[in-house]
Every structure is written in structure tokens, then in C-alpha cells.
Structure 1
């Protein structure tokens, strides 16, 4: 049973698609200067770094849900105050439930959803869908109540959906989107585009070419884009870069990186088979955690109070876990296969969302956190994951 659970976990991780590197190339097109709050950080809280099928707003959480027979995808909503789940639909007499929706429901999403692409920003929910007839991946957005649907732009044709990766952030009136369709045998080019939401215009501001070129885990901090770049499918051994939006200066920060976050204005990154480091804005680097047998690589995520570590591949019998990183140690380890089967997916200030696998089915579950950030209880939702 443990072997099956490990395969299940690794199978889910295959959606994460992460790798190794080569070089830096920039499209020298002049961009209009963008001046954002220097303290603004815009990044996803998906535990699997590229993104998430969960997004948080001021009043609740959005989920990319499945119908009971898995034939349809739709958007579900979980209210923070009432702790109740519902279908994201503004229609009064709509025939929908958390087990099924019809095609006229506001919540229904037509097309194949690109996993880990759900994102919330200033009253809109963003996601990427793939048209099965022409393989085109399209960036879309929906109003917070589900009543308004808008296609922003087509991104790329993806005949092989398994090898097409997207990672994006929404900053003001712009979307910065990394697009990768790596080829295992031939050189391909991965790009970062700057998309104007109102005019729909698109500019390629960065490109990278190699055998199986990948750009993943795009985020924004202090007028810079951060991302991991790799070649030849070097699993979880990517190079970390920053790219200044206004000057178009690209800088390599470190190599062999499997995850990174920002914490108290410091850059924290996990160097595979080595340790976790923090780097200040002045460039001072300090090692804050030495890897052990079961923490050689994994994912970092931060909720404004605590840093959490999710290990991916464990050499021990206990298997994958999520835990708190404090004072150079990982505390309060929750083993994903010890009591049930859980795959952590998304972190907020007081809870961790996960996919729960059981005889009843595959549902979103909630790990409730206490004031110290430790898991105190687990609650299953009615939303099918």
C-alpha cells in the first residue's frame, strides 16, 4: 500500500515539471517603465510552486472542481466566514450542485483546464484552458461572483499537453506569463511575455533556447520577475534568475534550485542535496538549513508568518511530509500517508488545503493551523478535487 501511495504522490508531482539549465537571452524591445510599490510581492501560494488549482480572495477560496463522474470542470467557492462550499454561480434558478453542473451554469468551464493555473487578483479569477479541437491554450478570467467571463488572449498551441507549462503573475494591468513547450530531442525556446489586459497586446520580454528549455515558478518582487530555468529535464535542479522589468537586466542567482520564496524581504531558496539559504537585498548569503536524508529536495511556501517545507522524495519509510522550518530545524512534521492519504496543495495564513484520497473519493481537505502554525485538525470539504 505504501508503494502505491508513493506512486500516487509522485504522479501528482509530475504536474510540477521542474528541471536543470543553460543560458540567458533577452528580447531587447523597449518596455514602458512600470513603477510598482517596491514592497509588493505577487506570487502564488501553491505548494507545488508552478501554481495551484486553489486561489484565495478577501472573503473566501476558489477551487477548480470536478463533477462526480469527472466529466466536467467548474469553479467552486468556499466561504471563510460560514465555512460552507458552493458552486460559483450568480444565476438564481440554475440547476447545479457540487456533484454536477450544466453547461449554462456560470461556474462551468468549457475546455480542458491546464492544471495549477488558478489565480486571483483584484476581483478577478484567472485560469488557462485548452481547446481539445485545436490544442490552443487560452488565458481567461472570471469575475468574483462568476457572472462575467472573458478571454484575454490565446497563448500557444499545445498538441502535447503533458509537455506544456505555464506560470504567470498579474501585476496592475499586466500579466507576465512564462510559456514552455520543451522538446526532449530538439532545441526549443521558452519565453516570458508581457500581456496588457486591456489592449490584449503581447510582447516577448525574455527568451531562452536549449534542448528541453523550461521556465517555471514565475513570481514578482520589487520590480523584478523571479523564475527557475532549466534544460534537459534535470529534475528539481534548476537555476534561479531575476529579471528587472524596467531595465531588462537578467541575473543568475544560484544553481541546482528546487524551490524559492520571499520572507521578510529576504530571498529564501532550497539548493537540492545541499541546504536552504537566505539572501538579503545586499547580496549577503547565509545557510539556514542543512539537508538530511529525507530533505534532499522539495518545496518551500510562506504564509506571512511561517515557512513550510514539503519534501518530495524521501529515502525513509515515513515518506513525504510537510513541516515548519524554524531555527534551522523542521518541526511538527505531518506525514502525508500516515493517517490517510493527503497531498498538500495550497497554504493560507490559518490553513493548508490538500487533496484527500479515500474510499469515498478524491476531495479537497483542510488542515487547520493553530497560532503557532501547527496542524490542529483536518476537515474534509464537499468539493471534488
Structure 2
């Protein structure tokens, strides 16, 4: 029987694990120092005695679970599923300012999944591991009615550079590492009913047709092939006062920072203000807004409520020493600042200030 006709049930769990181990040997990350185990072991042994990890470092650990019907759009390939399962974990490592040291991936799959599809998932996992230079050090396999991928990533970070969701002070700037809303727009574009609408209505915007086409491609790429801001997180660890990754929408992540500060200091009256004007000045906003209107969507709803951008949201003091030199290493946009309002709020273009809903951007102003 040819490989493309085989099902995962034809091999069984042990042979599938052997298959993963064999494939991983071809990647550079598999030969990283300090790994005293192989993928088939019951657990991973990471030897810190011969590495730079010592009493100055934290071991960082994070875990994310992805379920096919909730986290993988039907247009997403098996390779992209594997890639995303690594990216979501590395994104959490990046938000802590850490360097990844290893990842465990557990995979539950339907019995009738083709071996070709299984291999594509594994190839996506391995290519992502290679891209982020994070060794695949173990995991588990099991049977399920749909594809479920659980990742647990490990990393290291110096105590002085570790980043939490709290730690900001009054006057700190709030910034993001990239364009917000692209992934959410991509998910909308991918909906079948929207394909013809876009094709037909973009003709009305001929002067921006090339730019709009580029945004369509960028949005779909962002939705199907997310990328963790690992290098940005490492560079920002030197200057950021707090940090988190944007996976659930900007509003949700702003409240994550706000709530973390309150948990850390119950007497804190610190608040957060973001500006409609600053967000709408991001480079791709104009074309994104045109596309959103074509799809009968509000661009701010996509930015504040949908998420999946995997950009970093961080705070920093713009008056600290060497700030200009450090920030040249990272592309970012300032969207607000920390104040003493004791709430999360937004200032509209007309100067009106309102509390921002944690569930999303509820009171929208017109954006031309």
C-alpha cells in the first residue's frame, strides 16, 4: 500500500512516534546542547549545568490547546495547523521576554486521518520549530473525533528582563509591534460569501485597487500563517515595563494588563487610555477600513474584539536611558498611555473620552 493511501490507524501510536522522531533528526534544532533525551522518552530532560542558565534566570513554561473546529479555519492546511500550534506557544514565550528552549507537542487525531495529512501536520510543527529555533523535545499522541493539538513551550529569561502583565507606571506609553486587525480582516475575507462581494466592490475603489489587493493578501497570510514576535519580545525585554501578546482582541488584552495591575497592587488607581486617532494612523489602516466597509464590518470591531494578531502589546517609559537606541531594533506604534483614571478608556477623534468595554469596541465613531 502506498504512503498516500495509508491511514494513521495502519501504523499505530508507536510507529507514529517513531516517524516523528525520524523526521525531526533532519532539523538543526534537534542537535541543540543540553538535551539529554529524545522524542520517544516519557519526559524531556533539559540539562542546565552546561548552559548559560543559572541563578540569574527563570525557567519559563506555557501551554496552549488548539481544537480543530474552534481554532483552525476550513481554509487552513494541515501544515498550517502544525505551524500555528507552535506559534501560539512561542508567542507566549515572546511576551515574557524569554528565549525558547524546547517545546512538547501532544496530538490527538481521527483514526481515519490519512498518513499524508498526518505528515503535513508534523512538517508544519517541525518547520515552525526550526524557524523559531526551538527544539521539539517530546509530547504524546492519541485518538479523537477531530484534530486537537496541545503545546507546552519552555524558555529562559534573566530575572531583570522578565516581563509580566503588570509593572507599568503612570505616564508609561502603550504600544504595539505591528498592524492591528489584519488577521481578523483575513478571517472575514476567507468566508465564502465574501469572495464575490470583494471582487465586485473593489472595482469601485480603482484608485486604491493595487493597495487593496495587497491588503487582502496580507490579511489572509496573517490569518492562516501567524507569526510570533519572538525577536521583538527579546529586544523589548530590556525596556518594557509590561507585556502581553494580542490573541483575543486589543480590548481584551488591555483589560488583561489593567486587571493584572490590580491583582499585583489592590490600592493602584492606574488606568489605561488609548486613542482612536493613533490607531487610525497605522500605515495600512486606510485600505483596511475600505475593505471592512465592503464587508459591512467596522474596522474597530475587528481590531478591538476579534484578535489573532499575535502582535505584542507593551508599555514603556520613553524617558529611560538609551531608549532611542533600543527602540530602533523594534517596529512599533504608540497607541496610548498609562494614567490615573482607574479604568480602561478610549479617546475618540472628537475629544470625547469613554470607558472601553472589555467585550469589544462598542461605541464607534465614524472613520472616513
TM range (shorter): under 0.3
Structure whose residues are more often helix by fraction: 2
Of structures 1 and 2, the larger Rg is shown by 2
* Alignment TM-score, normalising by the size of structure 1: 0.21
Structure whose residues are more often strand by fraction: 1
Q: Larger relative contact order (C-alpha < 8 A, sep ≥ 6)? A: 2
* Alignment TM-score, normalising by the size of structure 2: 0.22
